[in-house]
Structure 1
Amino acid sequence: MTLQKRITACDNLTPTEQKLAEYILKNAYYLTDATILSLAKENYLSISSIHRFCKKIGLAGFKDLKVEMLRYAEHPSDTTVNINFPFLADDTCMTVATNLRNIYESTILDTIDYLDEKQLFSVSTILSGANMIDIYTHAHNIYPAGAFADRMLSIGKKVRCPEGFYNQRATALSADSQHISILISYSGRAFFLPSILEILRRKHSTPIFIGKAGIENEYPQIKHILAISDREDMQNRISQFSSHISLQYVLDILYCCVFKLNYSKNLRLLSENLSLLDDRKI
C-alpha cells in the first residue's frame, strides 16, 4: 500500500496528525534525507508524536516512513483521465476506448499498490483448505463474484453466492468453522455487513473482506483484508468502471493463487473435467 493510501485509509488521525500527513505528502521528495528530529522540529511536534503517527498508518516506525516517503516521491499517484466521467458528449469512440484503457491500466496499478504478499498468501491458503466458501455481496458485484465461483468450482472448490436479505442470512446461519466467508463491498457500508458479520462471529466462520481500505477501523474482527482501488466516487459517476475492474482483478489473482498451491492436481482436474463440462466438437 502506498504512503498516500495508508494516510487516506486512516480515519482516526488528529488535526495535528492530518497536517503532518499533508506536509509529508507535499514535501516527500525533500524529506528522504530527513531525520526524525528534523521532521518533528519542522512541524513543532515531539519525537513520540512522529512515532504515534507512524503506528497509526500501519508502519513500524520512522525508518519505514522514510522508505515509504522515498517510494512516494519516485512514483506519485495520479491519472489524467477522470475516473468518474472518463468521456464527454463530443468525444470520439476511439477517445472513449483510449480513456477506458487508461482507467483500467491505472486502476490495476493502483490495486497492486494495495496488495500485500502476506495477506494474499494467507487468504489463498485459507480458501484452499476450506470445505465451503460463501460470498456475500450485492448489486453489480454479484457478477464478478459468480465468475469467481465458477472458476473455483472447476478445481473442485464449492462456492455459494446467496442473493437477497433472507438467503444471505440463512446461508450465514448454516456456516461453521470450516466455512470461509468472503464479504465484498466497495464502500464498506453495504447494508448486509453488520448482520452477516455478527452471525459469522457466532458461527466461528472466518470472514475475508474485499473492498475499500480501512474497514478494520469499523470492524476490528476482520483480520483478512484485500483492499481494492478506491478512487471512484460511489454516487457521482457514469458507471463503476474502476471499481469493477479492480474487484475482478483481485478475484482473478485469488483464483490463481489458490490454483498454484496445488498446481499439478488442479491442472489434472481441469484436464479431466473439461471434456465432460463442454462436449462440443470444436
Structure 2
Amino acid sequence: MSINDNILIKIRDMKDSLTPVEKLVAEYILDNVDEIPHLSIKSLAQSTKTSDASVLRFCKTMGYKGYRNFIVSISASLGSMDEEQKDQYTDIQPGDDLSTIISNISHNNSKSIEDTLSVIDRNEIARAVKVLVACNRIVFFGIGASGLVGMDAEQKFSRINKMCHTYTDGHSQLTAATLLGKGDVAIFISNSGSTIEILDTLEIAKKNGATIIAITKYNKSSLADNANIVLSISTPEITIRSGAMGSRIAMLTVIDILFAGVASSEYKHVKKYLAKTHDIIASSKHRK
C-alpha cells in the first residue's frame, strides 16, 4: 500500500513499460482524466479502441481487482488535485532568469518527493527495514548519480556501526557481488532499472543468496522483476538535467527513510554510535 496513493501518478510513471494495448488505455486516461470516472468499462474500451478484457487487464496491472475499484481510485486522485497541479514539473529552459530557475528546481524536487510517496509501498519499506536490521552487512550498488546516492547511504549507515560499502563502477561491483552471501543485503540504486552493469551484478548477488533491495523508478524493469524488495520512486517526464535532479532527490529521500527506520528500531543499541560520531565531528570542527 502506498503512503499517499495517487493512481494517476502511477499510470504516468508506468506508462512507457506497459504493453502496446495497455499503453493505449493509459494514454487515453491521462489525456481525459475528468471524464474517466463517468465511463463504463465498455465505453472506455470503445474510446481506446481496445476491448473490455484489455481494460480489465490494465486495471489488474495497476494493482486493482476490478474496474470498479480502479474507477473509485481515479475519482479519489482527481479529488486531491486542482488545476494548478496538473502540470507539476517544469524543465530547464534556455534563458531562464535565476529566480525562475530557483523556483522551478525547488518545485520539481519537492514534487519528486511528494509523488514518490504515491508509488512507494509502505509494506516494502517495513520489509526493507527488517532485513537491514538483521543483516550481516549492506552493500550499495549504483552507477553515476545513483552511485552518489549509494555513497550518501554508506556515510549514514556507517554512523550507526553497520558494516557497509558502496561500489560505483562495473568491475568493483562484480567483485563485491561475488563475495556476498546469505545474511547480506545488496541495495541496487538505478532510476531506469535497466543499467547493464547493475543487472550483471544483481545476477551474481542473487545467485549467492543475498537479499536484493531495488530503489528504482515505478516501472516494469529487469531490476524490479528480480529484486526481493522494491522501493519505487517517481520521477518527472522532462528531458534535461532537472529530471535527473528529481530522481536523485527521490532516491536520497528513500535512503533517509531506511536509515531513520533502522536507527529508530535499534535506537537503544545505536544511540551510542550516533553520539560518538557526532562528538568526534564536533570536536574536529572546534580544533579548526
> Take 1:205 and 1:42, find their aligned partners in 2: how far apart are those partners?
47
Shift of 1:80: 5.4
- Paired-residue identity, %: 23
d(CA) in 2 for partners of 1:154, 1:274: 9
Q: Which residue of 2 aligns with 1:256?
A: 260
Letter in 1 for 2:95: A
Cα RMSD after superposing both structures? 2.8
2:58 equivalent to 1:53: yes
| Matching residue of 2:279 | 275
Which of 28, 48, 72 pairs up with 1:23?
28
> Which segment is superposed worse, 38-47 or 190-199?
38-47
Evaluate the alpha carbon distance shift between residue 61 and residue 153 of structure 1 in structure 2; reply closer, same or farther with a 3 A threshold: same
TM-superposition CA deviations, 1:191-244 (whole Å, max 9, x none): 31221122112201111111222244676322311122222556x436732122
Instruction: Give yes or no for contact 1:183–1:209 (8 Å, CA) kept in 2.
Output: yes
The whole-number CA distance in structure 2 between the counterparts of 1:121 and 1:253 is: 10
Q: Distance in 1 between matches of 2:224 and 2:111?
A: 29
Distance in 2, matches of 1:191 and 1:71, equals 38
Q: Tell me, yes or no, if the aligned pair for 1:176 and 1:205 is still in contact at 8 Å.
A: yes
5+ unaligned residues in a row in structure 1: which ranges? Answer: none
TM-score by length of 1: 0.84
User: In the TM superposition, what is the alpha-carbon distance from 1:165 to its structure 2 partner?
Assistant: 2.4
1:82 aligns with: 90
Partner of 2:204: 199
Q: CA deviation at 1:43?
A: 5.9
Q: Secondary structure at the match of 2:262?
A: helix
Alignment of 1:138-153 (within 5 A): 138-153=143-158
Distance 2:211 2:252 in 1: 22
CA distance in 2, matches of 1:29, 1:41: 17
Alignment partner for residue 116 of structure 1, among 117, 121, 124? 121
Any idea what the Cα deviations from partners look like across 1:105-141, whole Å, max 9, x if unmatched?
A: 2221122112111111111111111111111112122
Structure in which a larger fraction of residues adopt helix: 2
Query: Which has the larger displacement, 40-49 or 210-219?
Result: 40-49
Q: Secondary structure at the match of 2:37?
A: coil
- Which residue identity is paired with 1:183? F
Paired residues, number: 277
Q: Which residue of 2 aligns with 1:126?
A: 131
Output the amino acid matched with 1:107: S
> Aligned partners of 1:60, 1:230: CA distance in 2, in Å?
26
Distance 1:214 1:90 in 2: 32
Distance 2:221 2:88 in 1: 31
**1:178 aligned partner:** 183
Match of 2:245 among 241, 246, 249: 241
Deviations along 1:170-206, whole A, 9 cap, x unmatched? 1100000111001111122223122112211220111
Deviation of 1:272 after TM superposition, in Å, equals 4.5
Contact 2:56 2:66 in 1 (8 A): yes
CA 1:46–1:109 in structure 2 vs 1: closer, same or farther (change >3 Å)?
Answer: same
Long gaps (5+) in structure 2: none
Matched, 1:136 2:141: yes
- TM normalised by structure 2 equals 0.82
